[in-house]
Amino acid sequence: MRIPISALLGLVLTGGFFLMALFAPLIAPYGLSEVVGDVWESRSAEHWLGTDNIGRDLLSRMIYGGRTTILIATLATILSFTLGSFLGFTAAVIGGWIDQVMSRFVDLLMSIPSLIFALVVLSVMPVNITVLILVMGILDSTRVYRLSRAVAADINVQDFVEAAKLRGENRTWIIFREILPNALSPLVAELGLRFIFAVLFLSTLSFLGLGVQPPASDWGGMVKENKEGIVFGIGAALVPAAAIAALAISVNLVADWVLNRTSDLKGGRGG
Amino acid sequence: MNEILKLLVQRVALGLLLLLLVSVLVFVGTEILPGDVAQSILGQAATPTSLANLREELGLNDPAPVRYLNWLGGVLTGDLGTALSNGQDITTQIGLRLGNTMFLAFWAAVVAVPLAILLGLLAVRFRNRWPDKLISGVTLASISLPEFFIGYVLIYFFAVKFRWFPSVATVYDSMSLGQKLNAIALPVTVLTMVVLAHMMRMTRAAILNVMQSAYIETAELKGLSQFTVIFRHAFPNAIAPIVNVVMLNLAYLVVGVVVVEVIFVYPGMGQYLVDHVAKRDVPVVQACGVIFAAVYIGLNLIADIVAILTNPRLRHPK
């Protein structure tokens, strides 16, 4: 199996970001909210990326911020996938009015832009990490629902599923043993895209001041903290913004490759 | 003709029904979740009596369906209520800002739509060669970039280093059109870049789809040049899907505009919404949420209608 260079680059970078998130406290030279210098110091041997708006080491903040971003985005993606694919499979297998009700409700949720709905909900909910994960995961599960329902509806009419139904297997068996294994490859390709969406969504919320609350901070929040420096020609806010872009692009490269590979596989089997 | 009219009326009615359901959803989203409006206005130190008084004043003691109907009645008659945080009339405030936001979105669309179609055509003309690959590469990158990254990079270079444009986009009524355009140049660029990628990619796909038809092969076999084939034969047949793509992406501007307004401190609806979410000012958030959703649903509806008008096959649903 030959991995194209772009995918390899994506894999290495994505792996690097996740390792950084895992071992953040070991790598970071200073503490998360430790004030170690002047406001917006430029790059030096002690502070590789300089210091931030209240004199904290920017590199350490970046490492801890990446951990927060990746952790929340990962959990939200897991939630949206579990919820969306389970409900999508169920709707496809059971069909009838249950399918109708769930699908129309999802249509309704998707007729409001996610960001606007998230802002509406966050105006009354307490803003903490659990609420963020729930809001992001539930709003994004609508997209996973649509995909997995469509995939499962295709599989549901195939002979081996008919056979399982005639054998008298129950719905749990049909969903987990017949449909899930066959629906896995299109879902995995979608996983990367949903993760990117979660990263960008969280960063946007934090940038607007409605995501992760200080003193903890994710990359979007760090852009907000340091944005005042831009007009003085201090680029501290660009560092976390670039990191978000780099993470999203590397995951995208991997997802693109997986997507191409799975569609090649389908072609190889004769559609 | 009657058939079409009937179908269109059906679509519009469906859109209105959707909007009504969305208003229910927005209302439920802010009312039933744990979190008491009175408590959040007065803070933790509030006495039980003052809490009770405020609840009475805001009508929080009525059951939720009654409050929803009162609110809906207000919205339909143009009365969006008063802001909790400063007691201003929401309808007046939104009146001042909605025009600004439309102005920004309008110019972004004016720049983005022709550019996207042109680039899409170029990508098809040179498909699988370097211009196509370059365009796809840039597209992939710009889908992954957050709006604020593009925004602050532009501010850093064009407002701070070169001083060509202001970093803060302020517009007032007394400014001339030229001054206003100079003020919004950077936000318009960001919005354009955000929607351009999707629009271009889908335009490319729509034309490529048409390119597989038999009559395109005929045109090629007649010895027509690539450009003539694309412009005279493929493009007219791809207009319907392209218009659809354009409308869907303009709907995406609704979201982009929120972030862009905050980056450039632009006095529009997005900034207004975000400020009042932070202040937990529920009536303002509800009003803005419904307006944003209405614009979004409206644009999607127009996309639907254009598709029906331009594609006779859609007039006879199975």
> Does residue B167 sit at the A interface (CB-CB below 8 Å)?
yes
Chain B nearest C-alpha distance from A187 (Å): 20
Nearest Cα to A66, choosing from A33, A36, A28?
A28
- Write down the pLDDT at residue A270: 31
Whole-number Å distance between alpha carbons of A248 and A191: 13
> Taking 70 as the threshold, does the pLDDT of residue B215 lie above it?
yes
Confidence of residue B254 (pLDDT cuts 50, 70, 90): confident
Ranges A12-26, A176-190, B77-91: which has the least confidence: B77-91
CB A226, CB A237: distance < 8 Å: yes
Read off the pLDDT of each residue in B228-253 and give the average, rounded to a whole number. Answer: 80
Measure the CA–CA gap between B123 and B204, rounded to whole angstroms.
7
Alpha-carbon span B198 to B247, nearest angstrom: 12
- Residues B294 and B288: their CA atoms lie apart, in Å, by 10
Is there a contact between B278 and A209 if contact means CB atoms under 8 Å apart? yes
Whether the pLDDT of residue A54 is over 70: the answer is: yes
Minimal Cα–Cα distance from B149 to chain A, Å?
5
Query: Cα angle vertex A122, ends A118, A128, to 5°?
Result: 115
- Mention every residue, 6+ apart, whose C-beta is less than 8 A from residue A133: A72, A75, A76, A79
pLDDT, chain B, mean: 82
Question: Could you check whether the bond before residue A25 is cis, i.e. omega within 30 degrees of 0?
Answer: no
Distance from the Cα of B223 to chain A's closest Cα (Å) equals: 33
Q: Is-contact A124 B33, C-beta < 8 A?
A: yes
User: In this prediction, what percent of chain B has a pLDDT beyond 90?
Assistant: 5
A121 vs A135: CA distance, rounded Å: 8
- CA–CA separation, A234 and B173 (whole Å): 33
Q: Do A242 and B143 touch (CB under 8 A)?
A: no
In the predicted model, what is the mean pLDDT of residues B208-217? 84
The DSSP output letter for A32 is T
* pLDDT tens profile B259-282: 999 998 888 898 999 988 888 888
Helix, strand, coil share (%) of chain B residues, nearest 5? 80, 0, 20
Residues 6 or more apart in contact with residue A35 via CB below 8 angstroms: A54, A55, A56
pLDDT of residue B1: 60
SS3 B59: coil
- Confidence class for position A268, pLDDT limits 50, 70, 90: very low
Q: Which amino acid is at A147?
A: L
Q: Are A33 and A64 in contact (CB under 8 A)?
A: no
Q: Return d(Cα B279, Cα A50) in angstroms, integer.
A: 33
Would you say residue A45 has pLDDT above 80? Answer: no
CA distances from A162 to A94, A174, A271 (A): 14, 10, 20
User: Are B59 and B52 contacting, i.e. CB atoms less than 8 angstroms apart?
Assistant: no
* pLDDT exceeds 50 at position A265: no
The enclosing H or E element of B261 equals helix B235-263
Taking contacts as CB-CB distances below 8 angstroms, the residues of chain B near A230 are: 152, 155-156, 160, 167
Better-scored residue on pLDDT, B13 or B53: B13
Q: What is the DSSP-derived secondary structure letter of residue A35?
A: B
Closest partner residue to A245 (CB to CB) among B146, B167, B300 is: B146
Contact B99, B268 (CB under 8 A): no
Q: What is the ipTM of this complex?
A: 0.82
* Residue B37 pLDDT grade (very low, low, confident, very high; cuts 50, 70, 90): low
B18 vs A contacts (CB less than 8 Å): 108, 111
For residue B211, give both structure tokens. 């390119």
Contact status, residue B21 vs residue B29, Cβ threshold 8 Å: no
- Does the pTM surpass 0.90? The reply is no
pLDDT averaged over chain A? Answer: 86
Q: What is the pLDDT of residue A266?
A: 43
- Output Rg (C-alpha) for chain B, integer angstroms: 24
Lowest model confidence (mean pLDDT) among A136-145, B69-78, B145-154:
B69-78
Task: Note whether B137 contacts A: Cβ–Cβ < 8 A.
Answer: no
Query: Do B288 and B83 touch, CB atoms closer than 8 A?
Result: no
Interface of A with B (CB under 8 A): 108-109, 111-117, 119-126, 196, 200, 203-204, 207-210, 220, 223, 227, 230-233, 235, 237-238, 241-242, 244-245, 248-249, 252-253, 256
Q: Which of B11, B20, B33 to mutate to test the interface with A (most CBs of A within 10 A)?
A: B33
